Each structure stands twice: as structure tokens, then as C-alpha cells.
Structure 1
Amino acid sequence: MKVLIYSAKDFEIPYLKQANNKKHTLSFTEEALSSETAMKAVGYDAISIFSADEACFITIEKLKDFGIKYITLRSVGYDNVNLRTAKRLHIKVANVPAYSPYAIAEHAVALLQTLNRKLIESNFRVNHYNFNLNGLVGFDLNQKTVGIIGTGKIGAVMSRIMHGFGCILLGYDIEENETLKERYNMRYTTLKELCNQADIISLHLPLNTETHQLINDDLISEMKDGVILINTARGAIINTEDVIEGLKNKKIGALGIDVYENEKNIFFKNRSQELPNDDLLLKLNAMPNVLITGHHAFLTEEALTNIAETTIYNLNCWASGKDTENELTN
């Protein structure tokens, strides 16, 4: 099978080649999929895309015209793909449903502790041989209340880690995880109550119509003063303008994000020679109590191996005329 890998990054290509083991003919392009770049897929049987690629209605129709039969995502999320159109046009789509919940959850903890213990400011001072400790006070995580919004695979790992720190766990999800309740004393509650009580809130939700801008003025007003908010899920789960206002009035004490609602045209490229034309991102980046990483929570050896192996597995299934259990268009 001839496969074009869109948004190919240098760090992932070796993993994909190793997992492929010369089974399929892989070609790589740094360009993201869009209605303009869909033409590159002419002559291929399948494409592989990343979370920043755009497989909208128009793009998928073009891909169909160009002979594409399969789309395999190198991500869990698939909100960037118009599945209805793909299904109507008989293009099969599959994702990587789980690659490493540990990678994401551990990154969330890294964001939390970096903010809490003022590590960036401390390191900056030491680099300038300033060993003054004023302004570097954090708090023990032990006995702090942590609200986990979304208790699926990643949220469950985050819960386990926080329990290890001695935290009190509150959970919110449409489906309760009995294991978390039994082993880690998680108490499920309403969003409002979770916000009222949590010292730390960590988001682990998929992006859909129900979760889009879930964290907005209304919910922020219910939060404890000085709450630390962590988002390693999807950028558009939070209303960035409302969160900035929450940071300004100190309702939100600190914000750690690996995702950003307008990241599609900004992240994954070196833009050090040009300031992004995005006022919200510039405002966030200027705040001392905000920590932003560029959607790299997934970036571990284990996760990259799993992503590559599942991507090739999906292709193998289709090449042999079988369905893969990871299909989204069944």
C-alpha cells in the first residue's frame, strides 16, 4: 500500500519506519493536510494525519477524488476529521485509541509542580547567581484536593499519581470509574461542587460539542480563589479569554497548558523569527503564572513507539482486507 504521511516530524519518522519494516511504501511530507495540500495525495492508497491536520468536508471530498481509501490518524483525538463525510464516501478512518496515558498524565504533573514550586523563576535566578528565595513559596500536594475532569485512561493515571502524593480526589465524568473509587477514594461530584472544592483542577476530556469551552466564566466563578488549572487535553475545552480574565483577577492562581485553542496554525513549527498574530497567546505568554508547552505531552519513546505500531497495524488490516478495531467509520 502506498501511504503519504502528512505533518511528518523528524522525531517520529524513525519510529514509523521501524514499525513499518518495509511492509508499505511510506512517503513523508512536513506539510499539514488541508484542502490546498490534498493534491499531494494523488497516486496514494492511504494517508496518515496528525491532530493539527484538517480533514474537513471539502478536503475529504478531494481525497476521495484523488483515490484515497484510508485515513489513519496518529492521535487519539479525531475532532479534526469529518467522519460523516468520510463514511458517506466510503473512506475508512482509524485512530490510535491509546498510546501512553502515562506520558500525558506525567506531563500534567510536571506542569503542576513546575508552577507550584516556581521552578522556572528559581532556575532563572540561579542562572544569574541570584539565590534569594523570596516569592518562591509553593505548597505541599499532600492533603490538597485535586479535581479530575475526565476519568478515562489518562484521567485514571493522573488520579493514581495524585493519590500517591496524598491528595484528596474529586472526579467528574459521564461514567464513573469504580476502580478509582475503590482504590483511591475518588468521590464523583458535580462540576460546580468540584470547582468549589478543588485546589487543583486537571482536564482530561475529549473535545466535542458538550466539552467545547467547558471552562468559561460561569464555571471559573465557581472555582476556589487561586486554583491551579492544568489542561493537557484539547485547547478548545477552555475559553481562553475567560481564563485570562480569571488569571488577571486572581481567581485562577496559575495555568499550565500543553494545548491551546488556536494552536492549529501556530504549534509544531519554529516561529522564533516571527511573533504569532495571536493576541491571546501573546497575553498568556507574558504572564508569569502561566506555563505553556507546545503540545508535546505525548512525546515519549513509549508513546511514539505505540503510535507508530498502531498506525502501521491499521494499514496492515486494511491491506489484508480486514477491519481494524480502531476504525471510527464503522
Structure 2
Amino acid sequence: MKIAVFSAKKYDQDGFSQWADASLKFTYFDSRLSQESVKLAQGCHAICAFVNDDLSAPVLKQLSVMGIEMIALRCAGFNNVDLDTAKELGIRVARVPAYSPEAVAEHTLAMMLTLNRKLHKAFNRVRDDNFALDGLLGFNMHGKTVGLIGTGRIGLATARIIKGFGCKLLCYDVQENAELAGHYTSLAQLYQQSDIISLHCPLTPDTQHLINQDSLAQMKDGVMLINTSRGALIDTKAVINSLKSRKIGYLGLDVYEQEADIFFEDLSEQMIDDEVFKRLLTFPNVLITGHQAFFTKEALQQISQITSENLLAFASGLRNGNELAN
């Protein structure tokens, strides 16, 4: 079976070469899947896509005309896929529902600690032979209240680490996890009581811009906000206003709502035209990483292995529980 892999990097190729069955013939394209690049999938039976690939109705219709019957997502999120159109066209869609939730959870904590103890600033100071501690004051994580919005696999892994720091834990999810019984509360209470808020929920029409002007107004002054889930959970312009007013004291982002044209690429020799993103970079209390939270050896192994299993299941006419559309 021939598969066109979009948004492919060297680490994707290395992963599939290790785990893929010989019957899977991958062709790798660095290009992000779009209405312009979709033609690259001509002659293939399936495509493999990532978080910022365009799987909207127009692209899906072009794929269907070319005879593509399977989309293998090498990620857990699927907000970039028009599932209704995929179902109408008879295109099967499968994802990687879990690929080392600890990877994202640990990155979440790394962002919290870096922002709190200003490790990024201390690193640069020491390299300049500046050992003064002024401006590096942090706070004890122990005893602080941490609110987690979303308690799926990643949220649960984050909660386990947070407990180890001696923090008070508050959780919100439409589907409660028995392991976190006793920690659930309303969104309003979570906003009002949390010193740190971390997002671990999927992007859906109900959660888009979950963090907005109204929800920010309910939070403590100086709150720390972390997002390692999906960029559009946050209304970026509202967050910038809250940074300017000091409502947000610390902001950690591994995702950004307009990241598709920025992240995963080396733009060091180019001009970035996104004025909102550039404004975020001007704040000294903002830490941004380029959708890196998933990026561990263990996670990449799981992604390539499970994606390959999803493709083999399709080729064999089987279903393995990772499908999203018929």
C-alpha cells in the first residue's frame, strides 16, 4: 500500500523505517497538506497527516477523487479534520489516541518551573557572567493550587506529577476520571481559586477560545496559564490584554492558534508577519516553545508504531478501535 506522508521531517522517516511493515510504501513530503499540495498524493492509497495539515472539506473531496480511502493521523487531536465530510466520502480516519502522555505532562511541568524560577533568564545571565539574583525571585510550588482543565490521559499524567509537588489539585472535565475523584469542581471555581491553570482538553466548537476575556476576568491576579493542548483554546488577543494589565503573571505556550505557518519550520532567516505572535514575544513573562511537548524518543516510537498498525488494519479490512470516521 502506498502512503503519502505530509509535513514529514527526518524523525518521521526514521520512526517509520524502524516500525513500518514492508508492505507499507511511504513517500515523504515536507509540505504541509493543503489545497495546493494535495496533488502530491496522486497514485497513493492513503495519506498520513499531522496536526497542522488541512483536512477540510475541499481537501478531502480532492483526496476522494484521487481514490484516497484512508487518512492516518500521527497525532491524537483531530480538530483539523472535517469528519462529517470524510464520512460522506467514505474515507476512513484513524488517529494515535495515546502516545506517551507523560511526554506532554513533563513538558507542562518544565514550563511551569521555568517560568516560576526564571531558568531561561538565569541561563542567559550566567553566560554573561552575571550572577545577581535580582529579578529571579520565584515561589514554592508546594501548597499552591493548580487547576487542570481536561483530565484525559495527558491531564491525568500531569495530575500525578502535580500531586508529587505537594500542590492542591482542582480539576474540570465533562467526563470525570475515577482516579481523580474528590478533585473535580466547576470551571468558575477552578478559575477563581487556581494559582496555576493548565489546559489539557481537546479543541472542539465548545472549547474554542475557552480562555477569553470573561474567563480571564474570573482568575486570580498574577495567575500562571499553561497551554500544551491546542492553540485555539486561547483567545490570544484577550491574553495579550491580560498580560498588559498584569492579570496574567506567567504565560507558557507550546501551541498557538495561528501556528500552522510558523511552527515546525526554521524561519530564522525570514520575517514573521504575524503581529500578534510577535507581540507575545515581547513580554518577559511569556515562554513559548514550538509544539515541542510531544517530542520524546518514546513518543515518536509510539506514534510511528501505532500509525503503522492503523494503516495495516485498514489494508486488512480490519478496525482496531482508533478510527474516527466510517
| Smaller-chain TM-score bracket | over 0.9
Question: What secondary structure does 1:328 align onto?
Answer: strand
Matched, 1:322 2:318: yes
Counterpart of 1:246, as a letter, is: S
Counterpart of 1:5, as a letter, is: V
Match of residue 142 from structure 2: 142
Question: What secondary structure does 1:295 align onto?
Answer: coil
Match of residue 299 from structure 1: 295
Calculate the TM-score normalised by the size of structure 2: 0.99
1:23, distance to aligned residue in structure 2 (A)? 2.5
Matched, 1:244 2:217: no
Match of residue 8 from structure 1: 8
Q: Which runs of 5+ in 2 are unaligned?
A: none
In 1, distance between residues paired with 2:42 and 2:135?
Answer: 58
Matched, 1:130 2:130: yes
In 2, distance between residues paired with 1:39 and 1:50?
Answer: 17
Calculate the TM-score normalised by the size of structure 1: 0.97
Match of residue 276 from structure 1: 272
Q: Which runs of 5+ in 1 are unaligned?
A: none
1:13, distance to aligned residue in structure 2 (A)? 1.1
In 2, distance between residues paired with 1:121 and 1:329?
Answer: 46
Matched, 1:226 2:222: yes
Question: What secondary structure does 2:325 align onto?
Answer: coil
Match of residue 118 from structure 1: 118
- Deviations 1:168-210 (CA, angstroms, capped at 9, x unpaired): 00011112212112xxxx5211111111110000000100011
Question: What secondary structure does 2:211 align onto?
Answer: coil
What's the Cα RMSD here?
Answer: 0.8
- Report if the CA contact (8 A) 2:50-2:75 is conserved: yes
Instruction: Show the 5 A alignment for 1:73-222.
Output: 73-181=73-181, 186-222=182-218
Counterpart of 1:142, as a letter, is: H
- Deviations 1:225-264 (CA, angstroms, capped at 9, x unpaired): 1110000000000000000111111110010010000001
Counterpart of 1:108, as a letter, is: T
Counterpart of 2:178, as a letter, is: E
Comparing 225-234 with 6-15, which one deviates more in the overlay?
6-15
1:275, distance to aligned residue in structure 2 (A)? 2.3
1:11, distance to aligned residue in structure 2 (A)? 1.7
In 2, distance between residues paired with 1:223 and 1:48?
Answer: 40
Q: How many residue pairs were aligned?
A: 326
Comparing 16-25 with 54-63, which one deviates more in the overlay?
16-25
- Deviations 1:87-134 (CA, angstroms, capped at 9, x unpaired): 111111100011111000100000000000011111111010000101
In 1, distance between residues paired with 2:46 and 2:85?
Answer: 16
Q: After TM superposition, where is structure 1 displaced by more than 2 Å over at least 4 residues in a row?
A: none
Question: What secondary structure does 2:202 align onto?
Answer: coil
Question: What secondary structure does 2:324 align onto?
Answer: coil
Counterpart of 1:103, as a letter, is: A
